[in-house]
Structure formats: structure tokens, C-alpha cells
Amino acid sequence: MQSSENEYLTIALPKGKLFPLAVDLFREAGISADGLTDSSRKLVITNEAQKVKFIISKTADVPTYVEYGAADIGIIGKDVLVESGQDVYELLDLGFGKCHLMMAVPKDKKRDKLTDYTHTRVATKFPHIAEKFFNEHGMQMEYIKLNGSIELGPIVGLSESIVDIVETGTTLKENNLEEIVHIMDASARLVANRVSFRLKFDRIYSLTEKMKQILTERAEGNK
């Protein structure tokens, strides 16, 4: 017999840039809850009629809630998902939150080729992705983990380079940095806990199909 907790679909949403986009998508898919707004300080928001609970989490923690089953599904950027190394089931590329991860250096300190940076310090919020990338290029690096404003690293002499997200390129430009190598593309993903996906298959599958349909209609509307 299922426990009453299993009657709910628990959804982990990241605070920050993806939050309003994720809320819009769920609303369009027919799932919402009173108080699901940017300004709310409530961490769990329940819609009893729909048997849905939203968990509002720090961005980097969404994959953890989903892997451990504290949330059945979640929305998270591919960058954060890969960095976390967490074992979740990736259901859908949501197409928003598009950006890419890259390495950048101060414009006036560019070296001739990538391998010329071997053994230098790189500041990043994504040390695992960075290390994998540099290892693949046979480069040993020193990684300095920062939690934000990564571009400061080379400006204040903390590191020679950064590995970070670029969306419009404005932050790089305003800080006299230049992208020297593209590492990976990213966008928001719908993910599921592997056990929840089996136990709550009908609900999760029909929600995924509904979202697919919405994304297709949005894409056609943009043509």
C-alpha cells in the first residue's frame, strides 16, 4: 500500500533565474499553487487539491533532493546537473535558461594556445566539469572554487583564468575578459528520481508529454 506521502508529486524548483520560468511552465501544464512567487519565503508550497508539493531549493541542491527522492521531479540547469554528478533521470530539455560554459582569460594576458595555461590557477563554480575538460586535454590545473562573481578571480590576481557560464557575454566584456574555449552548452532540464519515475510513472509521464507539447507550441509560435 502507498503511504499518504506518495499521493503527492513533489517538485523541486531552484531559486534564482530559472524559478519564474519553471513556475510559468508548470502553470501552463496545469499545475500551480497559491504563493508560488519569487518573493515568498515559504520553502514548501502545497496544492492539496492537485496533490502537489513544491520544494523551493538553492539551485545547486536541486539534484540532491531529486536523487535522494525528497523530490520526485525537479528543474535544473544542465551545468549544475553535470557538476553535481548526481544520479537522476533526465526527462526533457526545456529549452530555456540557455547558456554555455567556457574558459576565459584577461584580454591582455592571452597565451598562444590552450595548453600554455597548464599548471595555472582557474577560478570556477564548476570544478568537476573544469577538471574533466582539462584532463581530456592532458592539462593539470589548480582549481579555486568560488561561489559567484567568478570574473573577479583574474581581475584581483586570484587566478589566471575562469571557467564560467556565459549567456549574453556582457559580464565578460565589462570585465575585459575573453572567451578562449567553449566547454559545453547548457539549458534547463526536467529531471526525475529513478524510483519515483517508476512508482509515479503515469503522472510524471503525462506531465512530461504535456510539457513537450507546450514547448513545441512555443517554438512554433516563435517561427
Ligand X SMILES: O=P(O)(O)OC[C@H]1O[C@H](OP(=O)(O)OP(=O)(O)O)[C@H](O)[C@@H]1O
Ligand Y SMILES: Nc1ncnc2c1ncn2[C@@H]1O[C@H](COP(=O)(O)OP(=O)(O)OP(=O)(O)O)[C@@H](O)[C@H]1O
- Does position 59 interact with ligand X (CB under 6 A)? The reply is no
Going by the DSSP 8-state scheme, the letter that residue 116 receives in this structure is: G
- Does position 169 interact with ligand X (CB under 6 A)? The reply is yes
Q: Report the alpha-carbon distance of residue 168 to residue 98 in Å, rounded.
A: 10
Among 88, 141, 162, 186, binds ligand Y (CB under 6 A): 186
Q: Report the alpha-carbon distance of residue 97 to residue 54 in Å, rounded.
A: 20
- Given a contact cutoff of 8 angstroms between Cβ atoms, the answer to whether 210 and 29 are in contact is yes
Among 77, 102, 177, 183, binds ligand Y (CB under 6 A): 77
- Given a contact cutoff of 8 angstroms between Cβ atoms, the answer to whether 208 and 29 are in contact is no
Residue 79, binding choice from ligand X, ligand Y, none, Cβ under 5 to 8 Å by partner class? ligand Y
Residue 61, binding choice from ligand X, ligand Y, none, Cβ under 5 to 8 Å by partner class? none
Copy the grid coordinates of residue 25.
Answer: 511552465
Q: Which candidate, 189, 157, 184, places its Cα nearest to that of 77?
A: 189
Residue 33, binding choice from ligand X, ligand Y, none, Cβ under 5 to 8 Å by partner class? none
- Does position 18 interact with ligand Y (CB under 6 A)? The reply is yes
Copy the grid coordinates of residue 204.
Answer: 510524471
CA angle 90/44/61 to nearest 5° reads 45
Among 38, 167, 185, 209, binds ligand X (CB under 6 A): 167
- Does position 97 interact with ligand Y (CB under 6 A)? The reply is yes
User: 103 vs 44, 106, 211, CA distance in Å?
Assistant: 37, 11, 33
As measured in angstroms, the least distance from the Cβ of 3 to ligand X is: 38
CA angle 3/6/10 to nearest 5° reads 150
As measured in angstroms, the least distance from the Cβ of 51 to ligand Y is: 28
- Does position 221 interact with ligand X (CB under 6 A)? The reply is no
Among 122, 165, 190, 207, binds ligand Y (CB under 6 A): 165
Among 45, 55, 105, 150, binds ligand X (CB under 6 A): 150
CA angle 184/190/192 to nearest 5° reads 115
Give 70 or 184: the residue with its C-beta nearer to ligand X. 184
Among 2, 3, 168, 222, binds ligand X (CB under 6 A): 168
The binding site for ligand Y (CB under 6 A) comprises: 15-18, 58-60, 77, 79-80, 97, 99, 165, 167, 186
